[in-house]
Each structure stands twice: as structure tokens, then as C-alpha cells.
Structure 1
Amino acid sequence: MTGAWRSVLPHLGHELPPDLSPPTATGPVTAQVPLELIRHSTSRREWWPVPEAVAEQYRRYRPTPLWRATRFEAEIGARVPIYVKYEGGNVSGSHKLNTALAQAHYYRAAGVRELVTGTGAGQWGTALAAACAAFGLSCVVFMVGGSLRDKPYRGSLMRLLGAEVHASPSPLTAIGTAAAGGRGGNSLALAIGEAVQYARQAPERAFCIGSGETYSILHQSVIGLEAIEQLAALGAGVDAVVGCVGAGSNFGGLALPFFAAHRAGELGAAPLLLAAESSATPKLTQGVYAYDHTDATGSGPMEAMYTIGAGYSISASHSAGLRFHGAAKLLSAMRHHGQIDAAAVGQRSAMLAAHAFARSELVVPAPESGHALAAAADVATGRDAGHRAAQGVLVCVSGHGLLDMTAYEQLRAGAVEDSTADAEALHAAVTGLTRVGTTMEVSR
């Protein structure tokens, strides 16, 4: 296991656009984020030692496995090797624990006693519940209501770990009360907004988020750093790296260490870095690069991101962890500068790929990871004419699907359908946003 996180910021060759105050702000926008996490997001320091208290927790499940998925290759007819980095073997069942432990450590050091968050599929909420248990903090989770109904045992697991769990929209916040009866039960932005409002109700609470922030992506760099070492130990090379994207911490954690290593002269040719998103929330493939809100309250800083609009009504899907309207500002800037690429994957294709992987490799992926597997399969077989690999493909299975049996049962029953974004609604949702610039062609 690596003893440090690696920042990609010194290797970008460009600055991230600054955050803006929302139009309704009457003064400076402040955040309850510990100073050390702010440093993680802004400093050009490259290597950050993992605190021993966090490293102690990491040693319970890291390093995570990497293997060549030969049976999956045969199942799909791959032309090149496919290597899998698996992050589902911890109590949260996903990569989210990597940053949850780090954040709980820093928030406790800053004097916070209760962390509040919003979660989509429940992986982040479970990870934060576990991290709070590890560091002696209270935890409150607002989970997307539709997802909690589909995955009730996610709620059970979070409660088992000591968290208080509420379906969003809830009656505990003004924004939740206002949204009750509408389509808010599918909105991760609303669940996050409820967490923001609830955290502000008491001084000992702090809102905590686990995907889109630059410091979260830094903490996830353990994934890619381990993968580079493990591939080297196997004498294997890859020229495509694939991960799924909700806001971006899984993909960023896997792919950006490869980008940094290439820029530092430690790797040969630059690999394709491919972000696999849901066709229901296609921010990187159909969105605009603009300043937008990160949650439904509209009270926090506006970030430069690829977005389909914070107000866009997102349809229900089994991949709630991908159901966020925007991509992380770090990944968005890299997309804008042609440093990463993206592909949109339909829900049925994702679930079929996940099912094939479960049958062949005997590991059940979360539906979110099915998007990465589908995109990786398209690259490895040559079905994706725009994204090719001649040497090998690395894909991250970012979480297990053992609590997603409703989705798999519906797949077996033929009841899983694709949900694509409505072009007219997309246009309306981004109308009026301040654009950052025009998208450049991807260069490798």
C-alpha cells in the first residue's frame, strides 16, 4: 500500500477556474471545510503523506486486488487484455471509504463532532458512516429517496454502523419540505442540499461530501498509485484507463496518477483516460462547461464544471451514484483542455456488462461500475471506434453490487430500460449559465 497521496495539480499545465459566489449571496460564501482539506485542493505540492491514523484504517483493506479478467475477455470477445482494479472489498463496499476515512480524520481534528452528508446509491453514505464510527463521530445521512426504497439494506447497513438515515426529500429541512410530492426522490442534488441545510442548524455539525471535491480525488489517488505498481509487478502495460463518473472521485483516483506519472516521465506514451458516465446524466458528453450550483440550495460557491444544469430533472435509474448533474471541477477542467475523454453508457448496456462480469469473474459489480465495464468492453473489443487500445485496458470496479439485487432481478426479468437525457430539457436547464469557454478536441 502506498503511504502517500499524489496530486495531479502540479502537472496540469493550467489553473483551475476560481469559484464564484452565487447570485443570491449577500456576503462572502464560507464553507465548513478543515484547512488541511483546503490545502489538498489548492496547493501545488505533489506528494501528501497519509496520516498514520488513516493509514492504520487503510491497512485493513488495502492494497486492493488487481487481476487480469481473462474469462470476462473471452465472454465479450476482447482483442486486448483487460485488467480489473477492485475496490469493493471493504465494509462500505466501494472506493468511497478512501476519502471518508481521511475526511473524518481531518474534521475531528478541526473540532467537528457530527458529519452530515447526502448520498445517491448509498455507497458514500455507508463509507462516511463507517469512517465516523472509526473516528468517534456522529453521522447523519440524507439518501435519495427512490434509491433508498430500491436498496433498503443500504439504510440498514448505515444504521448498523451508527448513522441516522433519512430519505430525501425529508421533512427535516425547508428544501426537503418544499420538494415533497415532486420528483425530488430521484435527485442527488436535493439530498446534498438537505444535508447542507441540516448541517447549518447546529454549530457542532459540518457538511461533508465525498466525490467532486479536489481533495476527495486526491485521497482516491491510492487506487491509481497501487494499480501502477501492481501492473509493473505483473509486467503488464495498458494504454486505456476506464472508470465510471458520477462527480468523479473513482475515475479521478484511478486515472489521474497515470496522467501525473506520464507528465513526470515515469510512463511512456500517454494512455487514453476514459470517463464512463450514464446516458441519463451526460454532463461530460452533452453538457456545457459553465458555472453552476453544486446542490439544490444554490447557496454554496458556484463551480466551473461540465453540467446538464442543477435544475435538470433526472430520471430514476439503478445507478444512483452516477445521478449527479455536474462533473468535478478538476475533471471538467481536464476535459476542457483535452486531457481526458468521456463516453455515455445506457443503463441496460451497463447492467448487461455487469451481469457478464459476475458470471465470468464471479464478482458482482455495482450498477455504477457496470458503466465502466461496458465502456471498457467497447474499447477492448473495438466496438468503440473513437476509443481504441492496442496494449491493454485497465478498468476500476469501484464497488460491489451485493445490495443491488433489485436491479439484477429486473434485468433478468427484462425490465431494465435505457433512460436518455431529453435534449430540449437539457437546453432549458443550462440556459442562463455563465459559460467558461468552448470545449476543445481531446488530444493524447
Structure 2
Amino acid sequence: MDLRINLPESEIPTAWYNVMPHLPSPVAPPLDPQTHEPVDPAALAAIFPESLIAQEMSDQPWIEIPQPVRDVYRLWRPTPLVRAKRLEEALGLKVKIYYKNESLSPAGSHKPNTAVPQAYYNKQAGLRRLATETGAGQWGTALSFASVQYNLDCTVYMVKVSFEQKPYRGMLIRSYGATIFPSPSDKTRSGRAALEKNPDHTGSLGLAISEAVEDAATHEDTNYALGSVLNHVLIHQSVTGLETKSQLVLAGEKADILVGCVGGGSNAAGLFAPFVPECLDGHGPQMLAIEPMACPTLTKGQFRYDYGDVAQLTPLIKMHTLGHSYTPPPIHAGGLRYHGNAPILCQMVDSGLVTPQAYYQKEVFEAAMLFLKTEGFLPAPETAHAIKGAIEAAKNAEPGQTVVFLYSGHGLLDLAAYDAYLSGKLTDYEYPDAEIAEALKSCPDI
């Protein structure tokens, strides 16, 4: 029995899959933050190239992948689908567990799947620089890698608590040639306003987004790039689900349960989306979205319109939200500390296609340690949430069923988090009902 199911380079997908035309109900349109009317696509041209705006609004199920993008993809794609046989044996269950290993990319995560095309389209549009935010640093690493492929400058605003927890992420980002600032920073009006209110502000993805959007909007040669949430990002990430479907056929398997961790929703939705048509026909897998209890957007948030950032610079999007002013506790899974979620994934949750689950930080790290000791690889704290979800799904599965999860990134630059776990310093954070209730009051009444 082969533990690794590999595809040849020729099987790298030639088109991304767009699930939007196949959803049971349409995704609500983004709204102008001032007028509350649907956003004019032309208004997005201040921070995005026309090609990505077209993908954002597309009703076409397939979008061709440019050959220059596929050429860069060849550095690590296709990625293997791996049977976690030793994990199965440790659990003592008659269930098969597979993981799609996205940690093999140059950045060590699934994020380059969208960073590369975003950099490519911006270069084609004549831009000189990209500005972005990052939580744990995986997205910032990916965009800095992608930018250098197309000779673009890159500026990264990294959430301050992660900037301090994960110094090696910042070192790698700078090694690719990008500039990085802890957020909130003194480089933007949004950052300075946050620091004035609280000089010890630990930062949030919503605030870092504000800084990056402001940077892009105030420089003609700069565009904004986002690593999750938006439709075009999730479309690019469909390469993982498309490859997984082909690999399951090669293995003679059928996925009964799919699992992905969720911060903004890009890796989970990228895995799930190509399976949606089967689910709508009643023959698809159960799909589980796993998030942290400290930032339980899908399990505890309200499905409503809200801003994507703290400074209210972005359009209003309908999503599960905890309130754009909410600052999540400083858990080590920095990439999952976002107050909202991708509209596409939220629509899938609202339609009953996806079931969200939330876990505490300590139990997530316990799952990560079991995976490390059985499969040998150190997962990122974000990825560990998917591992926890997959383990629990396997325990509840019927004998003979198959669980597949997305191994979204390695944890080799997250060793401080594991040191905190091993030394007993890891903290579990209770769901802050009162704090989130207060933050939800800041959402517009639409």
C-alpha cells in the first residue's frame, strides 16, 4: 500500500474552480461603506487590478490559470495526498485518514496558491509594489516570495503579537526582500490612531488590514493583496481540492469527511469547493470547518454585514462576524485571529453544506503533538486545528470511512508556541461573550 498518492506535473490544474455559480443561494454583494449600495467594481480599481476584480465578480465555474502562474506552481505542485497510517494506528480506529500536504511550498503553507497569481496579475497591470497584512506570518511569507518572482516590492503589516511571538517569520519575509512592520504601526493613520488609544495594543488582523489598505490607497504605484476572505482568493485555492479529488480516484477512495482549519476561510474552502456539486446531489462528503474557541467566528458570530477591517476602509461584506472592533486573545494560531470570514464559506455554512466546530488552544496542541509523534511532521498551530478536527471526526466516523484534512502549513517557524506548550505556559481563553457582544454593536444596521 502506497502512503503517498502523487500526481505528475502534467496534472497541475489548468483552471481554477469557482463554486459561486453552484451555491444553493447567491453570495450577498459587497456594499459601499458610505451609501450601503452594492459596490461599483470600478471603485475597487484603486487597490486591485481589473483581472482580479473580474474574478471576484465572476459567475463562470472555471477560470483559466495563466501559464506563467502554472510555471511557478511547478516549484511545489502537485502536492501529495498522504495516508496518515501511523496516526490511524495510534487512535486504534478502523478509519482511514489522509492529509493533503500543502507545507511543501517555498513558504511552507497553502498561501502561495493565491499569492503567486495575485503578484502575477498586479505585475501585468504595471504595479510596482504590493501592501498586505499577515497574522502568523504565513501569508506575508507567501506574498513576499511571490513578489520577488515578478520583481515587485512588498510591504507587510504583521499583527504585533505574532510579530513578537514568531520572529523567524519576520526574518524570512525580510530575506525574500520585503519590508515588514508590526501592526499597529506608526506608518499609517489607522495604526497611529490605534496606538494613541492603546500604546500596548497587541494588534488584530482587522487592524493590520486597515493599515495595508490605507497604504495601497494612498500610493498610486501600490495595490493591496489579501490572503483570504475574498472570492478570488478562494477560487485560486481550489487547486488543492481539485488535486485531492484526482488523488482520491487514484487511491480508489471516496472522501466521507473533509476537514479544514478556518481563520478567513481560504484553505478550508479551497479543499471543500470542488466537492460541492457532489454534496448538492446528496453523494458528497461531510465538510467540517475548525476554528479556535478564542475567535469562534462561524460557531458564535452573527451572519450579517460588517466591515472587513477595524478602520472601516473596506466594503461591507455579509459574513459570520464577531464585530470588526473585536481583538481576539493572543493565541498562537495567529492566522485564525480574524473577526469575520469568507462570504463564500459563510454562505456554505448558512446553507448547511459546511459544519463549523471550535476547540481550545491546549487540546489543539495535544492533537498536534500526537501527529508529530506518529507522522513525524510539526504542524503550524493553525493546521493543528484541522488535525484536531480530523481526529475527532475519525472517532465519530463509521468503520471503513475516510477522513481527509488539509495540512495547510508546517510549524518549523512556530517553535516558540511549542515551547510554551511543553513548558506548561499555554493558556486557554474562554469565549468572551460580553466583549464580543459589545463589538457586535459596532456592526452597521443593515
**Same structural fold, with TM-score higher than 0.5 when normalized by the shorter chain:** yes
2:441 to 403, 408, 431: 431
Query: Is 2:88 aligned against 1:78?
Result: no
CA distance in 2, matches of 1:320, 1:144: 8
Q: Deviations over 1:250-306 (max 9, x none)?
A: 00111111113544x6xx712111100111110100000011010112022100000
Stretch moving more, 69-78 or 238-247:
69-78
CA distance in 1, matches of 2:29, 2:399: 35
- Cross-structure match for 2:8: none
Note the aligned Cα RMSD (angstroms): 1.9
Q: How does 1:27-426 map to 2 (within 5 A)?
A: 30-31=43-44, 32-180=47-195, 181-182=198-199, 184-263=201-280, 269-382=283-396, 391-426=401-436
- Cross-structure match for 1:3: 14
CA distance in 2, matches of 1:144, 1:16: 29
- Cross-structure match for 1:442: none
Q: Deviations over 1:229-267 (max 9, x none)?
A: 11110111221100000010000111111113544x6xx
**Aligned-pair distance for 1:143?**
0.3
CA distance in 2, matches of 1:284, 1:304: 13
CA distance in 1, matches of 2:217, 2:293: 34
The one-letter code sitting in structure 1 at the alignment partner of 2:32 is S
CA distance in 1, matches of 2:305, 2:409: 30
Unaligned 5+ residue runs, structure 1?
437-444
8 Å CA contact 1:244–1:250 kept in 2: the answer is: yes
8 Å CA contact 2:307–2:443 kept in 1: the answer is: no
- Cross-structure match for 1:19: 30
**Aligned-pair distance for 1:79?**
3.8
**Aligned-pair distance for 1:84?**
0.6
**Aligned-pair distance for 1:201?**
2.5
Q: Deviations over 1:157-186 (max 9, x none)?
A: 011101001111111011111222445323
Give percent identity, aligned residues only. Answer: 40
CA distance in 2, matches of 1:112, 1:240: 42
**Aligned-pair distance for 1:330?**
0.9
SS of the residue 1:184 aligns to: coil
Q: Deviations over 1:327-382 (max 9, x none)?
A: 11111112112121100011111111111111111111100000010011011012
CA distance in 1, matches of 2:28, 2:340: 15
8 Å CA contact 1:184–1:190 kept in 2: the answer is: no
8 Å CA contact 1:77–1:381 kept in 2: the answer is: no
CA distance in 2, matches of 1:390, 1:166: 49
SS of the residue 2:426 aligns to: coil
CA distance in 2, matches of 1:395, 1:27: 36
**Aligned-pair distance for 1:196?**
1.1
Unaligned 5+ residue runs, structure 2?
1-11
Q: Deviations over 1:394-432 (max 9, x none)?
A: 001100000000011111112212213211112121126
CA distance in 1, matches of 2:178, 2:430: 34
SS of the residue 2:168 aligns to: helix
8 Å CA contact 1:79–1:381 kept in 2: the answer is: no
Alignment TM-score, normalising by the size of structure 2: 0.92
The one-letter code sitting in structure 2 at the alignment partner of 1:259 is V
8 Å CA contact 2:132–2:212 kept in 1: the answer is: yes
The one-letter code sitting in structure 2 at the alignment partner of 1:76 is L
Q: Deviations over 1:311-333 (max 9, x none)?
A: 11211010000000001111111
Alignment TM-score, normalising by the size of structure 1: 0.93
The one-letter code sitting in structure 2 at the alignment partner of 1:340 is V
The one-letter code sitting in structure 2 at the alignment partner of 1:321 is G
